[in-house]
Amino acid sequence: MGLAGFGGLSWPAILRLQAQAAAPPARSPTAVIIVWLRGGCSHLDTYDPKPDSGSEYAGPFSPIATKVPGMRLTELLPRQARLADKFTLLRSMAHTGGGHPSGSLQLLSGDPDAQDKIVPVYPDVMSVAHYLRARKTTDLPNYVGVNPIVRYDNFTIAGPGYLGPSYEPFAVVGDPSRPEFKVPNVGLADAAAQDRLQGRVNLRQSLDSFRRAVDDSGVMRAMDQYEAQAMSLLTSPLAARAFDLSQERPEVRERYGLNQWGQQCLMARRLVEAGVEIVTTTFDGPLCGRVANWDDHAVNHNVFDALRFRASYFDQAVSALIEDVYDRGLDKRVLVVVTGEFGRTPRISYVASSGGGVASAPAGTVQPGRDHWPQANSMIWAGGGIATGQVIGATDRRGEEVVERRVGPQDFLATIYRHLGIDYRNVTIPDRAGRPTPIVTDGEAIAELAARA
């Protein structure tokens, strides 16, 4: 009866379940944005070019100089090259998850299993941070997925695992660049709608009054608190503004790109600026090409045509996000990470296309592709007060194996936790049996990414 007055609104129940699971610490002033390249980006054709590796390995893209002496990217990323002093390039991530599910689960949750799983066992870094940083009162969710990291085909590649569904993100789906785009359950359209909602709440409160009078456990008082949070999300001007991209000047929206990826990144910046602490945004869909992801097997895409097609959208969105974080004075507290689950095979494969479309030749046409390669992956880190303008690690002359400063998923997790002020060496969370479980098992935060003094 208590929840029925909300007409099916689920956010209060989520907040109540969250509170039952933990008594959270004080809010941290930090935030993280993870830009996820679903399917795995070719490190050879973006961040780790190997032009002298031979025709069986090297793609058609030329390396270009960047603002950082000695750091070279491919010609696909000229905007990022011009602001390379504002990020650090890590070229030495490696793990054993060769499938999309296992690669994603290894990197995002530290799951050591090399086998794919239908659903996660371990909670991902975003859910753990949400659990540890959850706030009792707020106008905004603490963890938002703007096109969240959730699935790959029928596999769930990220999630709260044994922490339970109350630690999933507040999901924003759809294309924010479209005029009709609207985030549901955030901000009511007019005063009349707010009055109707308040009327439902008042009715529910009247029906519950007799239970409150005999409530020795405090459950009703807690329910009131979390329903108040839901009301805040629905009626708060702060929440409405944070999700409303029309509040931005047209030239700012254009700077990010008037497309899905650009506007996803702009919303991510608005959210962390407003106080959200964990934001993920996935780059997939039509801007990737025919199969709507970065999984550039030859059967899916001509890998080089696909990268050419999506590169301008990717380069513009990421560079605008990084520049904006610095221009708006967010660079000390907001960490931006751009990565996918793994790299791509250095050796180019040639296989018949399974179908024609954007960045893919007609079915039966033999075209180039690159396959899964967890042995080496590149990612960029920006903001967060870290030391930028550097390259960490290296791969061999073909980009096949890490030969310098190898890091793994546990190190990745530890680095994010360190930024968020979470003591990853000592903090534990309860598993399904209630046993304390370390959030990092054998990793250390990447020292070169330590915040500047």
* pLDDT tier at 435, thresholds 50, 70, 90: very high
Name the 3-class secondary structure at 349.
strand
Averaged pLDDT score across all residues of the chain: 88
Q: How long is the chain?
A: 453
Please give the pLDDT value at position 452: 73
Beta-bridge partners for 395: 402
Alpha-carbon distance 331 to 296, whole Å? 33
Residue 397 belongs to what H/E stretch? none
In terms of Cα–Cα distance, which of 453, 421, 419 is closest to 33? Answer: 419
Average pLDDT on 198-221 reads 48
Please report the sign of the dihedral spanned by the C-alpha atoms of residue 222, residue 223, residue 224, residue 230: positive
Beta-bridge partners for 437: 429
pLDDT at position 262 over 90: yes
Name the 3-class secondary structure at 120.
coil
**Rg value, the chain, Cα:** 23
Please give the pLDDT value at position 49: 98
Q: Are 354 and 363 in contact (CB under 8 A)?
A: yes
Alpha-carbon distance 345 to 43, whole Å? 9
Give helix then strand counts, H and E, for the chain. 11, 20
Alpha-carbon distance 220 to 330, whole Å? 39
Please give the pLDDT value at position 422: 97
Alpha-carbon distance 432 to 200, whole Å? 36
Please give the pLDDT value at position 389: 97
**Per-residue tokens: 210:** 């007799």
Bigger pLDDT: 219 or 331? Answer: 331
Report the relative pairing of strands 31-37 and 349-352 from DSSP bridges.
unpaired
Question: CB neighbours of 171 closer than 8 A, spacing ≥ 6?
Answer: 144, 145, 148, 150
Beta-bridge partners for 428: 438
Please report how many Cα atoms fall inside a 13 Å half-sphere around the Cα of residue 387, on the Cβ side: 11
Please give the pLDDT value at position 29: 84
Please report how many Cα atoms fall inside a 13 Å half-sphere around the Cα of residue 225, on the Cβ side: 15
Please give the pLDDT value at position 223: 47
Please give the pLDDT value at position 95: 98
**Per-residue tokens: 315:** 């380069």
In terms of Cα–Cα distance, which of 62, 153, 135, 145 is closest to 108? Answer: 145
Please report how many Cα atoms fall inside a 13 Å half-sphere around the Cα of residue 363, on the Cβ side: 2
Average pLDDT on 93-119 reads 97
Name the 3-class secondary structure at 348.
coil
Q: What is the largest CA-CA distance in the chain?
A: 79
Alpha-carbon distance 154 to 236, whole Å? 36
Q: pLDDT digit string (tens) for 43-81?
A: 999 999 999 999 999 999 999 999 999 999 999 999 999
Q: pLDDT digit string (tens) for 378-402?
A: 999 999 999 999 999 999 999 999 9
Alpha-carbon distance 398 to 326, whole Å? 34
Alpha-carbon distance 379 to 342, whole Å? 10
**Per-residue tokens: 39:** 């399917």
The predicted model scores a pTM of: 0.87
Alpha-carbon distance 353 to 306, whole Å? 13
* pLDDT tier at 187, thresholds 50, 70, 90: low
